[in-house]
Structure 1
Amino acid sequence: MANEIVIAQTTIDNEDQARALARGAVESKLAAGVHIDAPITAVYWWKNEVETAQEWRISYMTTTDCLPRLEAWLSEKHPYDVPQWIALPVTGGSEAYLSWVVEETTRD
């Protein structure tokens, strides 16, 4: 398959914003689908202090071809100074699902 599939992730501290970031990426064909995980507890260093926050994890199913555009789009839309942004390679899966991800993220 020419496009490699990746799952890109970010987090945000507001469920409505999580839904908006999910829907916007799908509507823009930057992701074929998005999962929003129920609130999770984040513990992290920020400005020399340990912080604890409730966040929603957003996982975008996309391709390596779409990843730079998705990252640029997210950096415009995300309210955090330094949002989490990671991409995890998908090393296997059903051919039908992987093909669907490619089809849904291919621009017409």
Structure 2
Amino acid sequence: MPTVYVTAPPDAADELARTLVADRLAACVNRVDCDSVYRWEGEVHEEREVILLAKTTDDRYDALRDRIEAEHPHDVPCIERFDEADVLPAYASWVEDETTPGRD
């Protein structure tokens, strides 16, 4: 069960989080405000961003990644996959249920 780490500008993060959950690409997306300092095209930037932590399944990961790439406002979005080595079985079952298309 992967957790996917994404950063996005605040105005895009809320819509992206809602879309991923509404389309069953993620069971849950946590939003955490942060300040980022990064180098882009030879310059150092400092901006307010939102960290998104999306809980998904192996089966839904590719579609989730593709949706983020398609809807993210940055040319090169931060998308990092973390695979859980140990997860509560009931939680893993909930994520599986909530990311299965056609369930209501």
TM-score by length of 2: 0.92
Structure 1 counterpart of 2:9, one-letter code = D
Number of corresponding residues: 102
Deviation of 1:62 (Å): 0.2
Residue 69 (structure 1) aligned to one of 63, 70, 75: 63
Q: SS at 2:29's partner residue?
A: strand
Residue in structure 1 matched with residue 31 of structure 2 by the alignment: 36
Structure 2 unmatched runs, 5+ = none
| Alignment RMSD | 1.0
Structure 1 unmatched runs, 5+ = none
TM-score by length of 1: 0.89
Pairing 1:1-108 to 2, within 5 Å after superposition: 5-14=1-10, 16-37=11-32, 39-108=33-102
Q: Which runs of 4+ in 1 moved over 4 A?
A: none
Q: Aligned equivalents of 1:64 and 1:51: distance in 2?
A: 34
